[in-house]
Each structure stands twice: as C-alpha cells, then as structure tokens.
Amino acid sequence: MGGMNHTSSASDTNPLLAAWTGPFELPPFASIKPGHYRPAFDRTLAAHRAEIEAIAADPAAPTFDNTVAALERSGREVDKVANVFFVLTGADTSDEIEAIERDISPLLARHNNALYLNRPLYARIADLYGRRETLGLDAEQARVLERYYTRFVRAGAALEKPAQDRLATINERLASLGTQFGQNVLADEKSFVMLLDEGDLTGLPDFARAAARAAAEERGQPGKYAITLARSSVETFLQFSSRRDLREKVFQAWIRRGETGGTTDNRAVIAEMVALRGERAKLLGFASFADYRLDDQMAKTPAAARELLDEVWGRACARAAAEKDALQALIAKEGGNFALAPHDWRYYAEKLRKAKFDLDEAEVKPYLQLDEMIEAAFEAARRLFGLRFTPVAAPLYHPDARAWEVTDAHGGHVALFIGDYFARSSKHSGAWMTSLRDQEKLSADVRPIVLNVCNFSKPAAGEPALLSFDDARTLFHEFGHGLHGMLSNVTYPLLAGTAVPSDFVELPSQLYEHWLEVPQILERYARHAGTGQPMPKPLLDRLLATRTFNQGFATVEYTACALVDLDLHTLSDANGLDVTEYERRDLERIAMPPEIVMRHRLPHFQHLFSGGGYAAGYYSYMWSEVLDADAFAAFEEAGDAFDPATAKRLRDYIYSAGNLREPKAAYEAFRGRMPKVDALLRKRGLTEVRG
C-alpha cells in the first residue's frame, strides 16, 4: 500500500487486520502481501501493549476475571498475524519474508520481555496466587493462575530492578549469540564440498548418485558429483561408499563443523552462552541452568533425567560393543586388516543389515504411497477417536497444500486439517506441526486449524508419491502432534493443545508412530503403487524385524549428547570454559566407545545453542520415548491396538487435555500408574546384549 497518503484506517486496506469471513475463516492468503506484515505487527503489538497496561493499571482490586482472564483475552490480534506469518516463514518463505523475520523476531522478544517483567502486573497475579484457595476457582482456572504465576516468576518478574535489567541484557545477548551460532554452522556447511568423479562413486546406489550430480550442478560443476555436509548427503555417502579414504575425509569435515578455528568457530560463543545461562539461573535462585530449566519440566530435576539416561547408557554401550564385534568380524571376513573407525560404522552396518535381513529400500518403497499413508493415519484416528476426514476445497498459501474437514462420529465440526507434504525450495527442511488457530472456549467455541508440514520428494507429474518407511513414520509422528492440537478441549488458550512441557510434548507424536506398524493398518494401506497388491507378508516381516538393528549405535550416539548437555548446563562456573577439552573429558568420564562420535558435537549442537529450545533438554526425546513405549503397552496389555476403553482414557487425559494437569498427573490418570522403562528397552532391543 506504499504511496497512499489518505487517512483511512489500516484495516480498510490491510487484509491481516480485517475480519476473515471466507471458508473456515482461513486467512485470505491470496490478498496478503509481504508489505502487510510490518504495519500489522506494529499496530497489533501496540494494541496489545495498551491492553496489558490497562490490566496492570486497573484501579479495581485484582480478581481472576479482571487480571488472569483479561490477560487470556488480550493479544488475540497479535496471535492472528503471527500465526499466519510463522506458518509462511517455515513452509513458504522468500528473501522478503526472511528480511521481515529478522526485523520482527527481536521486536517480539522485547514485547514478551516487557510483558513478563511488568512489576505492577506481576503484583496483581502474585496477590491472586497468594489467596488462590479463597477465590472459588474451578480446577482449570486454578491451573491457569498457577501457570501465569510460574511464568512471571521464572521470567524474573519478582526480582528487583537491577537484577531485572541484568536479565534483560543477558536475554538480548543470548538471542544474538544464538543467531551467530546457527549462522556459523551454516557457513561451515556451505564452505565444504567434496567434488568427485564418476570413478569415485563405488558402492553408491542410483538415488545417491543422482543427488550428488544435482548438488554439483547447483554449484556450477556439471558432470561432477558433490558430497556436502547436509546430513542426508554425508550420511548416505558414509552408508554406501566403499572408498574408505573418502569416507574419512568427509566424516572429519562433518564432525569439525563449528570448530575450524576461523571466524566461524563456535567455541567462544558456547563458553559465553553457558556462562550467561548459569548467571541467569543464579539470579533466579537456581544452582545451575539445568536446575532452572528442569524445574518446570516433567522431569523436575537434572538427577531424575540423568537417572533415566544412566539406566539406558550401560545397556546401550553393551549392545554397541556386541554390534562393533559383528562389524569387525565382517571386516576380517572381507580380508580387511584395520580396526573399525567411526567413519566405517555406517558402511559395515549397512552391509550387515542387507546380509542379515535381505532388505532393500527399493523393494519397500512402491508399497508406501503418500495418499495411502495419509488415509492410514486417518483410519487409526477413526478407530481410536471416532474422527472422520473429508477433503475440502479451501484457499491455501500454496497449491501443494491440501485441506480436510475433521468431524466427530455425529458429524460435528472438530477442526480443519491442512497437509503440506512435498519439499520445495521455499520450505525449511525437517517436518513439523503448527497451527493457524488454536482451540479455546473463552471468547467463543473456537475450533483449531492445524497443519502438518513435511519434506517428502515430489514425484514427476502423473507418478504416485512414494515414501520410505522412515517417511511414513514421520507422517504418523506429525499427525500425532496434529491430533494433540485438533482434539484439544480446554477453555483457556494458555492451556490448549501442545502447550505442554517439552519433555511431555513428544508423547502424543511418538505414541502415534506405533499405529503405523499395527497389522490392521499396514496390511490394509501398504499396497503396491502399480499392482494394488498388499505388501507380501515375508517382506513386511523383514521390514519390522530390522527395527532393533543397530540400535546400540543409535542409542549411544544420542544418549552421549543428552548426558554431555546435562553435565555442561549443570556447571556452577563456566567462565573460561575450554569447550573441546570439556567435551573430551566428559566423554572419557562416561566411557564413550571410541568407534562412535556424538550425534551432535558441542561446536555444532544447534538444539542447545541455536536458539536454545533444547538446552539442558536434549534428554526430552528419550524421556518421551519411555512414556510412548509404556503408553502403547497399555493397548498391548488390553489385547487390542484400538481397545475402546484405553483409547477413551488416552483421549480424555492426553490428546484432548492440553496442559490442564501436571504431566505426571495426566499420565497417571491415563495409565493408572507412573511409566516404567521396560517397554522402551524392549522397543530398542536393549534387553538382550547379543549383537
């Protein structure tokens, strides 16, 4: 709208600020232009600030309604704009959108800081919290009040002004260090490329050759083959290349990302971040950052998280030792005269897998069609929760995105589900669930609009889209997160859907992966794209039998990272930290097998330092895996993967319950007891130590 200088209100011209009255009240994507975002953010953030000030300065004594519920009713227009914007930054971005994102992110961070460090507002919440027993609140209201109180305290609202100022400085410094960390890793990944000729490709299957040729072309080297440090490129090469020298070369570059000594070296960044996190935790009254972080998680203490990791660690190492022996034997059998090295593991494991299970990815793929796997995920939701999915025509942000209306057994509207499955250059890598609108009942009966975004290969026109088994698992995983959002049934937005602690949020998603593998689903939906025939039983059996293969390696690679993360963030003094030496000594302490390297070494451990969402929280994946394995065992014990009584408890206490209860209470209500680690050990094949 540049150049217009008449004085009509912005909502006349900015579709982000208008009421959305189209199908399913979706945003009018077609009329939203990048130039609309900044003015929409400026306007809605200012409006939210005014709402917050009015609540904080209310001359009336604090009540639940004029303070907590008022906060819950505030900021809706910001959410509306931000939801659209962040769906696009992930799924359909552009240089223009990215520039706006760099602009907007610190603005939103400052907005949040100002909210949670607002002392008069905190005083009202603390006053209510102090007399919460006398307010006549129902259970959900009491939970919302407790969550607000805890959030304000954890942000530093109760501290004196000088400490608050220091916190704000630390937060801003950590934000810019986190950005720098990620950009350094990306720079190291971009600067390395191993250019090969046809003759260097021994062992590589066709799909890997095609990808390497495309990567070289993209870098202006047509006719050559490029191996890059992207995980998919380097791992495929390590798995299939019979050139030991080249495997070593690319592996060394891969594990040295962020540790190359130049301007992109991350070690000083890490030392400063760990020290600042420790200082912040101490300002807030905790012994260490890990203590601070876990206090508001299901695990509660670093000791509880470490107890689980230790229990798994010993068994995983024993299992990995047996796997190593089998790989070393294979090397000897082939006449090799060298000790298995980290850059050999994936190559010999792949050989052994083929020999043991006679399983070829190319044989499985034609049976896993994207559209059939989507139907399979829907069918499991129908059997478990009575949901129906009807394709609908809806105006979305990209032609590859599709929409389904989700209804209950009586035809009542439950949610709108959007699936955006194909990779494209405007999409970030990975797979995730997100939403355009969350469920609530405070202002009205608002039903959610939920998205699954994936990066499956798009087939040529007229060809069916085929998935690997891992892809199919990813589809079920994200759909599990999606159900957590779609089935949400709470009153207050703060508690809706996936707004739960991060060591609990992977339960609904990891649990849902189990239904991909139940016979009623796989036998019906795994059908050959050409012949329509179901997957032959022997192939299905071999596929399922490989699940525990090489799990010693995978578990060691992961668990070492989780242990080092916890140790590092439990340090009481991190000033002058030598990151390389620290990592070496900590791995020595836990007796890391020398043939395995951490899945993410500290200098490129983005979960911990690029943003920091998983700092002192990398254990969460395994914590959730204990829950999902134990939860699925409830169905096995009932003798039916869709047992109605178990499914009802699962819906009532997990999938529809958002953050209504403490995770421990929610889990116990579903299962009748606390989780046990046994099912996880069985799932990973760690109960027996033979390779």
Q: Which residues are catalytic?
A: 478
Unique residue bearing structure tokens 């400085």: 169
Cβ proximity to Zn ion: between 440 and 506 the closer is 506
Q: Tell me if 378 sits within 8 A of 586, measured CB to CB.
A: no
Q: How far is the CB of 613 from Zn ion (least distance, A)?
A: 12
Residue closer to Zn ion (CB basis): 369 or 509? 509
Helix (H, G, I), strand (E, B) or coil at 371: helix
Nearest approach, Cβ of residue 498 and Zn ion (Å): 9
Nearer to Zn ion, 78 or 505 (CB): 505
Q: Determine the Cα–Cα distance for residues 505 and 392; give it in Å rounded to an integer.
A: 29
Q: Is 685 left (phi over 0), alpha (psi -120 to 50) or beta?
A: left
By C-beta, is 488 or 509 nearer to Zn ion?
509
Smallest separation (angstroms) from Zn ion to the CB of 473: 11
Task: Using the minimum distance from each CB to Zn ion, give the nearer residue, 184 or 435.
Answer: 435
Q: Which is nearer to Zn ion, 503 or 506 (CB)?
A: 506
Smallest gap from Cβ 89 to Zn ion, in A, equals: 19
Task: State how far the alpha carbon of 154 is from the alpha carbons of 275, 371, 427, in Å.
Answer: 18, 45, 34
Least separation in angstroms between residue 666's CB and Zn ion is 18
Strand partners, 402: 419
> How far apart are CB 510 and Zn ion at their closest, in Å?
7
Positions that interact with Zn ion (CB under 5 A): 506, 509
By CB neighbour count within 10 A (0-12 exposed, 13-18 middle, 19+ buried), where does 258 fall? buried
- The CB-of-509 to Zn ion minimum distance in angstroms stands at 4
Which three-class secondary structure state does DSSP give residue 297? Answer: coil
Q: Choose among 198, 185, 165: nearest CA to 259.
A: 185
Q: How far apart are CA 286 and CA 37, in angstroms?
A: 39
Q: Which residue carries 């969460």 as its tokens?
A: 620
| Residue 192 or 432 with smaller CB distance to Zn ion | 432
Strand, helix or coil for residue 222: coil
- What is the 3 state secondary structure string of 630-644? HHHHHHHHHCCCCCH
In the bound complex, which residue of the shown chain has the CB atom lying closest to Zn ion? 509
Q: d(Cα 246, Cα 242) in Å, to the nearest integer?
A: 9
CB distance 308 to 547 below 8 Å: no
Q: What angle separates helix 231-240 from helix 342-357, to the nearest 10 degrees?
A: 70
How many of the other CB atoms lie within 10 Å of CB of 591?
10
Q: Which of 676, 691, 683, 690 is nearest to 311 (CA)?
A: 676
Cα–Cα dist 29/528, whole Å: 37
Instruction: Classify 404 as helix, strand or coil.
Output: strand
Amino acid letter, residue 638 = A
Q: How far apart are CA 346 and CA 327, in angstroms?
A: 10
Q: Shortest Cβ distance from residue 481 to Zn ion (Å)?
A: 6
Looking at the Cβ atoms of 434 and 555, the one nearer to Zn ion is 434
- The CB-of-356 to Zn ion minimum distance in angstroms stands at 30
Which residues, including other chains, have CB under 8 Å from residue 252's CB and lie 6 or more apart?
Answer: 343
Q: How far is the C-alpha of 255 from the C-alpha of 276, rounded, in Å? A: 26
Do 384 and 647 touch, CB atoms closer than 8 A?
A: yes
Nearer to Zn ion, 506 or 583 (CB): 506
Three-state secondary-structure class, residue 533 = coil
CA distance 42 to 49: 11
